[in-house]
Structure 1
Amino acid sequence: MVGYGALVWPERVALHFGADLHADWYGSRGTAILVAVALGVCMAAAFVGCAALVSRIPLDLLNVPHPSYWKQPEHVAELRRRSAEDMYHLGAVTIFFLAGVLILAVQASTSVDHRLSGAAPILLIGYLGYLTGWTIWLWLRRYRPPAR
């Protein structure tokens, strides 16, 4: 996606948008490419790093539903495995969201009025709605102790 943006972005690229969806800060094409690549790399590194930390973090710092079950020695390995998987999942969904934002930013920068399309609020609401539903699922299902 960054490659596509590098091909179609004008010299002056919209880099920030206000609540009214209009561009309110601009930069060069090179700055836009640098920001997009740096943001993607930093986000991926952050989530991979968090997933790796799950195996080392003290158990009292892990917040999980039903801690009396999951923090028992026989369940700790499964708790850490699931937590790492959840970090990877959250990272993938966030990177996907950021790719959608980048697509919309490329479109806005090449439009006449430098305005994000109406898809921007839909993308944001969809992302936040997904995270809300996923968090509820984690709390109610994924970390529910098995029936005895």
Structure 2
Amino acid sequence: MKKPAIALLVLSAALLVGLGINDHQQLPERIASHFDWSGTANGWMNRTTFTATMLAVGLGIPALVIAAMHALRFIPAEYLNVPNPGYWRAPANHRKACDILAASSLWFGSAFLIWQAFFTHMIVAANRATPPALDSGKAILLTLPLLAFILGWITVLITRFHRIPTP
């Protein structure tokens, strides 16, 4: 399960970077980088700062979550807060619990990278209009699957830790 997750993570990161570089070339020097709920531009940036910020956020948030999940194996087991803590904190099972969390973080990272790539692309497209305008409905439709994924991700993890493997 870890190899497909790593492959998807790498492909998702490549999508974000590739789309970011391609979109950067299409941006005017000064772009609308933030929009209110009605889609009206209310924040501006130069295109280099915008591209750098979008790439940093897009790569940084997944990296932070993945690093935090991988770092759990280096903290004392009693700080692992999962269902059935008596089982998962036991020395024989703590490493497996940490492996489950680390592998799951790769899936989260991929989902966030894909969302960030398309959300950034949507902002670039919004800057082609005069005046720049973001379609709030499309932004919400793009974000709902990410929110659904995160809810499902959390549910799967909770369910996974509620089950104790049979010997």
Q: Same fold (TM over 0.5)?
A: yes
Alignment-derived partner of residue 34 in structure 1? 52
1:111 aligns with 2:160: no
Contact 1:14-1:25 at 8 Å conserved across structures: yes
Alignment-derived partner of residue 45 in structure 1? 63
The count of corresponding residues between Structure 1 and Structure 2 is: 147
Matches within 5 A, 1:18-97: 18-97=36-115
1:23 Cα deviation after fit = 1.7
Structure 1 residue runs without a partner (length 5+): none
Matched position secondary structure for 1:110: coil
Take 2:104 and 2:71, find their aligned partners in 1: how far apart are those partners? Answer: 13
- Specify the code of the residue in structure 1 equivalent to 2:141: I
Matched position secondary structure for 1:55: helix
Counting aligned pairs with the same residue, the percent is: 26
- Specify the code of the residue in structure 2 equivalent to 1:5: D
Give the number of the structure whose residues are more often helix, by fraction.
2
Take 1:125 and 1:70, find their aligned partners in 2: how far apart are those partners? Answer: 32
CA RMSD in angstroms comes to: 1.8
- Deviation digits for residues 8-45 of structure 1 (CA, Å, limit 9, x no counterpart): 11122111121222221011112212212322342243
Matched position secondary structure for 1:13: strand
Deviates more, 1:129-138 or 1:110-119: 110-119
Deviates more, 1:125-134 or 1:110-119: 110-119
Matches within 5 A, 1:119-134: 119-134=138-153
1:134 Cα deviation after fit = 2.0
Alignment-derived partner of residue 16 in structure 2? none
Structure 2 residue runs without a partner (length 5+): 1-18
Deviates more, 1:22-31 or 1:107-116: 107-116
1:3 Cα deviation after fit = 1.0
